[in-house]
A and B are shown apart, each in its own frame.
Chain A
Amino acid sequence: MTCWREILTRLLMAAVTVIVGVFFSAVLVRYAPGFGTDERQLDARLSGESIEAIRREMAGEQNVAAYFVDAVQKLKQGDLGTSRAFHRPVRDLLTERGWVTIHLLGAGLGVAWAAAILVVMASWLSGSAALARTSSLGSGMLLCLPAGAIALLLIVADGPACLALALVVYPKIYRYLTNLVVSAGRTPHVLAARAKGISNARLLAWHVVPAIRREVVALTGVSLGMALSAAIPVEAFCGIPGIGQLAWQAALARDVPVLTMVSLVVIASTVLANSGADLLADQSRHAT
């Protein structure tokens, strides 16, 4: 009963966060000084009537509350609106591009997590300070590079786009994991076990991993948010037609319907991933 109540509470909180988040994004766009400016109005080929029609089209988005309520009502009927820049239903755009981004995120996050776990495990098992320093330096250097620059360098090296995403997310996961493992390694029971001569591998498997399991599960949710942010420059520069590239193109074209729906998808994915990960982490804590 308590478990179901907890799940429902988290789902409710996630729904509220998503609604407030999307409304917040819409408000930010609406009250930005350049809102209502459409480059098409400068097109000399368009007649006066066409320009007036464009102005009327934009006027529907002037009242942010009315626009938001209208969008929610259409959303209930499965209508996500029509893109001004792509002249296509937003629903089709999101469906097509969603799968591309899911594949990219899956591959990128898989590589990043695998690399981070391997490096942290290797540092722990070998106990080598040199390896720990080298991997820390490597992750530190990657943290100093903008995601866009990493994507561009990968293009020059003819590397896959998922590797660019992995290189952006890896240092953050590595840092979190290292901090977790180091702090777990300093706990009294681990120090006592080490003093008794238990091997590093056994310490890791029986004492460190169970202690940090909850945080690692929570980190998986957080890493999705990191990967989604990194997906924008990676998709934009590597020419991958995913949600990140769509957001970038919509931002450049000031396409409010697409921007609002992309915000909805991105915020909902992040919030649900975080809530799911937190819930799993809580379950594992209750189980132990």
Chain B
Amino acid sequence: MKAIRIFALSIASLIVLPATVGSLLPEYDYSRQDRTNISTGASSEHWLGTDALGRDRLARLFHGTRVSLTLAPAAAVLSVFLALAIGAAPGFVGGASERLAKRLIDLMLSVPWLFLLLIVRASLPLDLSPMVSAMVTFSILGLLGWGVPARILMARSREIRESEFVLLARASGVSRWRLLSAHVAPNLGTVLLAQFWIAVPVYILAEANLSLLGLGVSEPMPSLGSLLREMESVLTLRGDICNFVALVVLVLLVGSLQLAFNSSEVN
């Protein structure tokens, strides 16, 4: 299993490192338009060709990967913190707060979340700047994606609450703060980290779905999802193999992250 994880992390690094370095180089400007080369294939000047506006696909891929890889973990942090507050805390306290939190989590999980994302994202102002639209899109993902981690964290914190070491600590008169910091937090930490790593590829995919529907990151800023919008034209798809590069990068990145941080292994 360790070999698979190393292999997956190597694949992820092969995507992350060039994307990070490339996006910092001034020659890879994602919005620069080359009016003499519109919708061209791969060439020495544009390694992955250009899009319908003459923008370099490789530059957009570098920046899009960086945007997705920066904001998806940020959204994952947000949802894990919400899950901690809504799931783990009531799970540890128990009683009415736990029952209420359970109902809230059930409600959140009963709503098909792509519908919810669609509704909320569509209600945002029309004049958002691209950077703000990117941040808002991923914030919505984080704000609405806490249901599954909250359920898992609640179950884990309930286990901890009922465990013998916590009972012993309570019986020995350990203060609430010490109980939380010395006994609960270390036992909850691994689950929190696992939920974070599980959420990152999920959010990259969710943003891709939203962008494909025209409700993700606004133009001209690229994200891995918005780059897939080029695939919307069937004629474009049938024309050039370079149109698939963003999809291949997305699959490799999401696949390697899922493989590297497989839930059954980290939980």
Known: A39-B126, A140-B258, A232-B213. A146 touches B228 (CB 8 A): yes
Size of interface on B: residues with Cβ below 8 Å to A: 40
Give the complex CA separation of A144 and B208 in angstroms.
11
Q: How large is the interface on A (under 10, 10 to 19, 20 to 34, 35 or more residues)?
A: 35 or more
A37 in contact with B126 (CB, 8 Å): yes
Cβ–Cβ contact A140 & B259, under 8 A: yes
Contact of B125 among A34, A145, A229, A270 (CB under 8 A): A34
Give the distance in Å from the alpha carbon of A241 to the alpha carbon of B209 in the complex: 19
Q: Could you mark each residue 121-158 of chain A with 1 if its beta carbon is under 8 Å from any beta carbon of chain B, else 0?
A: 00000000000000000001101111111001001100
Q: Is the C-beta of A252 less than 8 angstroms from some C-beta in chain B?
A: yes
Find out whether the CB atom of B114 lies under 8 angstroms from the CB atom of A232: yes
Given A144-B205, A248-B213: A232 in contact with B118 (beta carbons within 8 A)? yes
Interface string of A269-281 (1 = CB under 8 A from B): 0110010000000
Q: Does A24 interact with chain B (Cβ within 8 Å)?
A: yes
CA distance A202 to B115 in the complex (A): 43
Task: Mark out the residues of chain A between 221 and 272 whose CB falls within 8 Å of any chain B CB in the assembled complex.
Answer: 225-226, 228-230, 232-233, 236-237, 247-248, 251-252, 254, 259, 262-263, 266-267, 270-271
> B123, A149: Cβ atoms under 8 Å?
no
Q: Contacts of A146 on B, CB cut-off 8 Å?
A: 205, 208-209, 212, 225, 228, 250
Contact call B110/A21, Cβ cutoff below 8 A:
yes
Nearest A residue to B233 via CB reads: A152
Which residues does chain B contribute within 8 Å of A152, judged by CB atoms? Answer: 212, 231-232, 234, 237
**B130 an interface residue at 8 Å Cβ cutoff?**
no
B208 partner, pick from A140, A148, A266, A267, beta carbons under 8 A: A148
Shortest C-beta distance, B9 to chain A (Å), equals: 16
Chain A: which residue is nearest B121 at the CB level?
A: A251
Cβ-neighbour of B118 out of A20, A144, A147, A247 (below 8 A): A247
Does A176 interact with chain B (Cβ within 8 Å)?
Answer: no
The answer to whether B215 has its CB under 8 Å from any CB of chain A is yes
Distance A145 CA – B228 CA, assembled complex (angstroms): 11
The one of A21, A33, A143, A254 in contact with B111, judged by C-beta atoms closer than 8 angstroms, is A21
Q: Which residues of B contact A228 (CB under 8 A)?
A: 112, 115
Tell me the smallest distance from the CB of B147 to a CB of chain A, in Å.
Answer: 12
Contacts of B15 in A (CB 8 A): none
Starting from the known contacts A32-B124, A252-B215, 18 additional A-B residue pairs (CB-CB under 8 Å) come to: A17-B107, A21-B107, A21-B110, A21-B111, A24-B111, A25-B111, A28-B123, A29-B120, A29-B123, A144-B250, A147-B209, A148-B213, A149-B247, A156-B234, A225-B112, A230-B114, A247-B115, A252-B122
Please give the residue numbers on chain B whose beta carbons come within 8 Å of chain A beta carbons, in ascending order. 106-107, 110-116, 118-126, 201, 205, 208-209, 212-215, 225, 228, 231-232, 234, 237-238, 247, 250-251, 254-255, 258-259
Residue positions of A touching B, CB distance < 8 A = 17, 20-21, 24-25, 28-29, 32-35, 37, 39, 140-141, 143-149, 152, 155-156, 225-226, 228-230, 232-233, 236-237, 247-248, 251-252, 254, 259, 262-263, 266-267, 270-271, 274
Q: Can you list 24 contacts pairing A with B, beta carbon distance less than 8 Å?
A: A20-B107, A29-B119, A33-B123, A34-B125, A34-B126, A37-B126, A144-B201, A144-B250, A144-B254, A144-B255, A145-B251, A146-B250, A156-B234, A225-B112, A228-B115, A233-B114, A247-B118, A248-B118, A248-B213, A251-B119, A252-B122, A254-B122, A254-B123, A259-B122
